[in-house]
Amino acid sequence: MADLTRLTAAELSQKLQAREISSVDVTRAHLDRIAAVDGDIHAFLHVSSAALATAADVDTRRGDGEKLGPLAGVPIAIKDVLCTFDMPSTAGSKILEGWVPPYDATVVRKLREAHLVPLGKTNMDEFAMGSSTEHSAFGPTHNPWDLDRIPGGSGGGSAAAVAAYEAPLALGSDTGGSIRQPAAVTGSVGVKPTYGGVSRYGAIALASSLDQVGPVTRTVLDAALLHDVIGGYDPRDSTSLKDPWPSFADAARTGARDRSLKGVRVGVVKQLNGDGFQVGVRDRFAESLEVLAAAGAEIVEVSAPNFEYAIAAYYLILPAEASSNLAKFDSVRFGLRVNPKGGGTVEDVMAATREAGFGPEVKRRIILGTYALSAGYYDAYYGSAQKVRTLIQRDFDAAFERADVLISPAAPTTAFKLGEKLEDPLAMYLNDVTTIPANLAGIPGMGLPMGLAPEDGLPTGIQLMAPARADVRLYSVGAALEALLEDRWGHTLISQAPELAVAR
Amino acid sequence: MAKAELMDFDKALELFEPVLGFEVHVELNTRTKMFSDAPNFFGGEPNTNITPVDLGLPGSLPVVNEQAIRYSISLGLALGCEIAPSSRFARKNYFYPDLAKNYQISQYDEPIAHDGNVEVELPNGKVFQVSIERAHMEEDAGKLTHVGGATGRIQGAEYSLVDYNRAGVPLVEIVTNMISGAEHDAPELAKAYVSTIRDIVVSLGISDAKMERGNLRCDANISLSPRGSGKLGTRTETKNVNSLRSVERAIRYEIQRQAAILAKGGTITQETRHWHEDTGVTSAGRPKSDADDYRYFPEPDLLPVEPSEALIAELRAALPEAPAIRRRRLKEAWAFTDLEFQDVQNSGLVTEIELTVAAGAAPAQARKWWTGEIARLANLASVDASSLVSPLHVSELVAMIDNGELTDRLARQVLEGVIAGEGSPAEVTKSRGLVVVSDDGALIAAIDEALAAQPDVLEKIRDGKVQAAGAVIGAVMKAMKGTADAARVRELVLERAQQ
Amino acid sequence: MSEITNDQVSHLANLARIALTPEEIDKLTGELGVIIDSIAKVSEVATADVPATSHPIRLVNVFRPDVPGPTLTAKQALAGAPEHDGSRFKVSAILGEEQ
């Protein structure tokens, strides 16, 4: 039998429906792959002991003639920020080590209802704070393209899992780029949907007004198939949108089939490409523009002057909301408890627990957020940041007057070395320069491969952005661009990743 | 607890002008909680009326209860407030183990209702206009039980236990503007204000409004301003005031305590004080300080509330009449004298009497029982009369008297049983075996015995002095231990006199 | 350079209930100064005429009908608790006051 881990979710879906393969076969192949390579990659924090049983159940249902969704029987990895009632959910933090929630996140429930097979939980920067997965309390994830390099973050575990063929699909969460930036540096595909397009219920909150759950895959079509499963209104999330959504998979299939961008206005954001971006990233981006133009797209330059303030606004809004969201980790109802030496009051126990349970980046952002919300500073910091948010939305509104989709590199550089930026928080924050504006404005964005940087042979990613609620454009344009680039290269980008050593 | 030095109340008022302010928390009686679909019911088994939202579990999210919004708007309208075209929720951040998320979802700079006015009538007939600053929505916290230590209080406890059943119960907090000019009436005004708020929420049907159960809680702010100084004093905030009479007592106490300190040249500490029902004193809590930095910010998990004009009009049209108008109407309907009605008002039992009358009792009877026996028992137990017995049971009791099943004296025994939780009046009557003796034979025997002891009575009756029968009736009732129907005894005695 | 002092960081740590070590306070004081300097620029463009945006997608009046749903059992509620007495969560003595 061919290596089932090399197939896309769409291909697996087809073979499962044709009963050429069973879900147990597919699931076992991925569990074997995890056993073989995850010692080096460390994409998983927990591997499900129920996966094979779940797969067998799907096979039985299919055998019984039950009508199943397109992804039924396809395995999936779940970012550890999402609550699962049958697996620990730690958000990469020691303070939640071993915590098993009494409920499923809405997206996880939807996966189960669509009969996908959860493989396990993936590594992440603690509480999704970071761009490298180095802030995980359980050790970093390694980039499958180069084990000495970061896989991006915060969702490095999910991106590395799909890039290393440990899972065909994964779920991520994106607060400032945590799905799109890891996609860029691992040669995979990641989508941050419109804010409210996918339920946040059961996603351990980092910054409530920025967080969004989305698909992490190796192809645009797979992302679309997964988005079709997890999207839609959830009454448990007040910010959930009631909009009817079109089939993203249909849009992706049409885009890939037609390979035409005739009449599509593609806006290049002036402020998201320039000095400070790696040469190979800029070259590949220029090449992608040529490909788009050759396919009939009308390339226009748009200016978003207030993007200059995006990172500053983001690093006020995020820590402020996070400082409040993370207050619940207090040793009373769940999670770690640390008793100070010689006992102490409940206040002392809370403070000792949070000191021991949170890593340095989490503490840094909590203190920063506490400062930003303090009486006397609120207007200058948090209040001003919320105004910048308005200005950034206006910039996007103006840009989308002139363009149907916007594009930029998905990350300013290729994957950097583990440890390289760990001691320089500000440099780390700059990794998200291209992705943050979309979160501030709530619009959807996609990261997908645009080739290897000549200077280091590592993957680069392009970012597509669409107006709020127009996620479907990402899939039609993204699938077309993906197909055109692969036609040009003669292969997929991910196929160029080095083979990993296999543990026995 | 060391008893603070107090100044005589009248003397305190000579030297200082009291300035009051109230924050009244009203628990709404919606079916579910403010932000979760857990039943809005606490008590019972700890930690069972909760969802992941009430426990603040990671990943859980709040969703606003629509009924709580409607109730809050109705309350705002009844308080004469303007309803904000756009209001929103905010997070109030502070750590406390009964606060599941370590922030309370409340409203801050954009409350749902603001700028209202409530007319409050005092026992002496004076009417005050209390100006309402705002009414805002928020969620209640869980309940702490302190274990170890002698008092069961927080000081000296070894550890505490947390039950989150109450966490997330919807509250509306009503905040007044500063009230000056109450002078000697300040304690009575405090009581009358809270009583008026209680009447309003009961008439709206949006809260059970039982102070002893914490459905209605009052934090009373008070400061003293030296006469002629034109300067505001430092205020204290007294919490834990769980009955109408406590509101009055606590205000009186704080005026006397603060006056004693100020008169000696001391200063008042701006602090929270706790009222102790048993000892009738307040004790110092945490001082207010810079540490109270609640870091309010708009709740990102919730959206603005923007009620339509149509909704506000609908709720306004459905408002019950204002308490002042209601008072006038009830006084007329019940045909009470000024004095009688004043008496009812002072007792704070207008609503109870109204509900008792609505259940079928005659107004005079309802008044007699509530302001008489029930009020007496409540006073003995230092609780509010409304907490002892339900209007429905009082009405049942009155009906049983009316149709001769009970005498007044038996009814008092039945009432005790009802208060003791033995059941409804009918059930208590049955279980205690309290039956009116209507067997004329037994009554006649007792009458004969009484007449034998007072042979001149029949003669007096025949001479037209009918009131002389009273002595015999009294003796018979005593002999029958209250089980006789006094009216029947009287009939029998008069019959005998005519023989 | 922002005027962030050790005392300020230690006050913030207290508000945030984190028992930072003196070394952490030192380090964070420096880092916070640098970060705040770089993010303070938001006030350059946040003029009075610009409204604040707290939600990226504007929605209003999102409500839930007042209908009870399923609840957790006490066992489920307490399952993740560091300490409990079988029905309630247990915490150390509370310094402070009754609320």
Angle between helices A471-489 and A248-258 (to 10 degrees): 30
| Chain B residues with CB-CB distance to A332 below 8 A | 97, 162
In contact, A58 and A72? CB cutoff 8 Å: yes
pLDDT in tens, chain C (99 residues): 467 999 999 999 999 999 999 999 999 999 999 999 999 999 999 999 999 999 999 999 999 999 999 999 999 999 999 999 999 999 998 865 444
pLDDT of amino acid B2: 57
| Chain B residues with CB-CB distance to C14 below 8 A | 291
Phi, psi for A367 (deg, rounded to 5): -65, -40
The answer to whether A248 faces chain C, any CB pair under 8 Å, is no
pLDDT of amino acid A476: 98
Q: If you classify domain B440-498 with CATH, what class do you get? A: mainly alpha
| Chain C residues with CB-CB distance to B145 below 8 A | 88
Average pLDDT, rounded, for chain A? 96
- B217-263, pLDDT tens digit by residue? 999 999 999 998 888 899 999 997 889 989 999 999 999 999 999 99
CB contact under 8 Å between C36 and A371, yes or no, is yes
Angle between helices B350-358 and B323-334 (to 10 degrees): 50
Pairwise CA distance, residues B460 & B463, whole Å? 5
What stretch of H or E contains A298? strand A298-302
Report the residue from C42, C51, C81 with minimal CB separation from A385.
C42
pLDDT at residue B490 above 60? yes
CB contact under 8 Å between C96 and B286, yes or no, is yes
In contact, B103 and B93? CB cutoff 8 Å: yes
Pairwise CA distance, residues A474 & A465, whole Å? 7
A residues 50-89 closer than 8 Å to C (CB): none
Pairwise CA distance, residues B72 & B65, whole Å? 11
Residue A298, classified by CB atoms within 10 Å of its CB into exposed (0-12), middle (13-18) or buried (19+), is middle
pLDDT of amino acid B58: 98
Amino acid identity for residue B339 in this structure: L
Report the residue from A354, A383, A388 with minimal CB separation from C17.
A354
CB contact under 8 Å between A309 and C19, yes or no, is no
| Chain C residues with CB-CB distance to B240 below 8 A | 98
| Chain C residues with CB-CB distance to A390 below 8 A | 50-53
pLDDT at residue B289 above 60? no
Sheet with B103-106: list strands edge to edge: B103-106, B90-93, B297-298
- B313-328, pLDDT tens digit by residue? 999 999 988 777 888 8
CB contact under 8 Å between C69 and B32, yes or no, is yes
Sheet with C89-92: list strands edge to edge: B143-147, B159-163, C89-92
Residue A341 covered by a domain: no
For chain A, what is the domain count? Answer: 1
CB contact under 8 Å between B57 and A91, yes or no, is no
CB contact under 8 Å between A347 and C9, yes or no, is no
SS3 call for B105: strand
Counting as contact any 3 or more CB pairs under 8 A, the partners of C are A, B
Find the length of chain B.
499
| Chain A residues with CB-CB distance to C19 below 8 A | 340, 348, 351-352, 354-355
Pairwise CA distance, residues B415 & B406, whole Å? 11
Closest CA to B139 of B302, B18, B273, B343: B302
Average pLDDT on A178-189 reads 98
Place of tokens 């760990």: A422
Average pLDDT on B376-392 reads 88
Pick left, alpha or beta for residue B54 (phi over 0 → left; psi -120 to 50 → alpha; otherwise beta).
Answer: alpha
Domain coverage including residue A276 = 4-306+390-496
Report the residue from B59, B64, B303 with minimal CB separation from A204.
B59
Residue B452, classified by CB atoms within 10 Å of its CB into exposed (0-12), middle (13-18) or buried (19+), is exposed
Phi, psi for A45 (deg, rounded to 5): -95, -25
Average pLDDT on B91-109 reads 96
Residue A217 covered by a domain: yes
Counting as contact any 3 or more CB pairs under 8 A, the partners of B are A, C
| Chain C residues with CB-CB distance to A337 below 8 A | 82-83
CB contact under 8 Å between C91 and B97, yes or no, is yes
What residues of A act catalytically?
A: 79, 154, 178
Angle between helices B309-317 and B66-78 (to 10 degrees): 60
The encoded tokens of residue A366 equal 């909590």
What stretch of H or E contains A63? helix A51-63
CB contact under 8 Å between A82 and B59, yes or no, is yes
Contacts for B460 with CB less than 8 Å, ≥ 6 apart: B468
Give the torsion sign (CA, A327, A328, A332, A337). negative
- B17-72, pLDDT tens digit by residue? 999 999 999 999 999 999 999 999 867 799 999 999 999 999 999 999 999 999 99
Contacts for B444 with CB less than 8 Å, ≥ 6 apart: B492
Report the residue from C60, C65, C98 with minimal CB separation from B240.
C98
The answer to whether A175 faces chain C, any CB pair under 8 Å, is no
Confidence of residue B387 (pLDDT cuts 50, 70, 90): confident
Q: Which residue in B64, B98, B289, B297 has the most chain A C-beta atoms within 10 A of its own C-beta, making it the best mutation to test that interface?
A: B297
CB contact under 8 Å between A354 and C18, yes or no, is yes
CB contact under 8 Å between B154 and C70, yes or no, is no
CATH 1.20.120 fits C6-45, yes or no: no
CB contact under 8 Å between A196 and C59, yes or no, is yes
- Cite the beta strand spans of B51-186 per DSSP E: 64-65, 82-83, 90-93, 103-106, 113-121, 127-139, 143-147, 159-163, 170-176
pLDDT at residue A109 above 50? yes
CB contact under 8 Å between C68 and B67, yes or no, is no
| Chain C residues with CB-CB distance to A387 below 8 A | 42, 45-47, 50-53
Sheet with A169-173: list strands edge to edge: A44-47, A117-122, A75-79, A169-173, A213-217, A189-192, A445-452, A459-465, A405-409, A265-269, A298-302
pLDDT at residue A451 above 90? yes
For every residue of A308-320, DSSP letters joined together read GGHHHHHHHHHHH
Instruction: Kindly report the nearest CA distance between residue B293 and chain A, in angstroms.
Output: 6
Instruction: Kindly report the nearest CA distance between residue B151 and chain C, in angstroms.
Output: 13
Report the residue from B66, B148, B304 with minimal CB separation from C60.
B304
| Chain C residues with CB-CB distance to B158 below 8 A | 93
Contacts for A77 with CB less than 8 Å, ≥ 6 apart: A43, A44, A118, A119, A120, A121, A122, A157, A158, A161, A162, A166, A167, A169, A170, A171
> In CATH, what number is assigned to the domain containing residue A293?
3.90.1300.10
Contacts for A423 with CB less than 8 Å, ≥ 6 apart: none
pLDDT of amino acid B177: 98
Closest CA to B165 of B45, B28, B64: B45
SS3 call for B384: coil
Q: Which residue in B32, B34, B35, B61 has the most chain A C-beta atoms within 10 A of its own C-beta, making it the best mutation to test that interface?
A: B61
List beta partners, residue B22.
B220
Locate the domains of chain C by residue range.
Answer: 6-45
CB contact under 8 Å between B159 and C91, yes or no, is yes
Locate the domains of chain B by residue range.
Answer: 9-313, 321-431, 440-498
End-to-end Cα spacing for chain C: 41
Chain mean position to CA A41: 17
What stretch of H or E contains A6? none
pLDDT of amino acid B176: 98
Confidence of residue B385 (pLDDT cuts 50, 70, 90): confident
A residues 197-216 closer than 8 Å to C (CB): 209-210
The encoded tokens of residue B453 equal 């002891």
C residues 10-69 closer than 8 Å to B (CB): 14-15, 17, 54-55, 59-69
pLDDT of amino acid C95: 66
Pairwise CA distance, residues B125 & B115, whole Å? 25
In contact, B83 and B73? CB cutoff 8 Å: yes
What stretch of H or E contains B297? strand B297-298
Closest CA to A345 of B73, C92, C79, B56: C92
Pairwise CA distance, residues A22 & A60, whole Å? 10
CB contact under 8 Å between B91 and A324, yes or no, is yes
Beta-carbon contacts below 8 Å between B and C: 138
Beta-carbon contacts below 8 Å between A and C: 183
Report the percent of chain A where pLDDT is more than 70.
100
| Chain B residues with CB-CB distance to C88 below 8 A | 46-47, 145, 161-163
pLDDT at residue B290 above 60? no
Residue B291, classified by CB atoms within 10 Å of its CB into exposed (0-12), middle (13-18) or buried (19+), is exposed
Pairwise CA distance, residues A163 & A157, whole Å? 10
Which residues of A lie closer than 8 Å to B, measured between beta carbons? 82-83, 89, 91, 96, 99, 101-103, 105, 200-205, 207-209, 235-239, 320-321, 323-324, 327-330, 332-334, 346-347, 350, 370, 373-375, 378, 382
Cis peptide preceding A154, ω within 30 of 0: yes
CB contact under 8 Å between C60 and B154, yes or no, is no
| Chain C residues with CB-CB distance to B85 below 8 A | none
CB contact under 8 Å between B300 and A83, yes or no, is no
Place of tokens 């489920």: C76
- B123-175, pLDDT tens digit by residue? 888 999 999 999 999 999 999 999 887 666 666 778 999 999 999 999 999 99
Instruction: Kindly report the nearest CA distance between residue A131 and chain C, in angstroms.
Output: 17
Buried b (16+ CB within 10 A) or exposed e, A88-119: ebbbbbbbbeebbbbbbbbbbbbbbebbbbbb
pLDDT of amino acid A54: 98
| Chain A residues with CB-CB distance to B302 below 8 A | 238
Beta-carbon contacts below 8 Å between A and B: 101
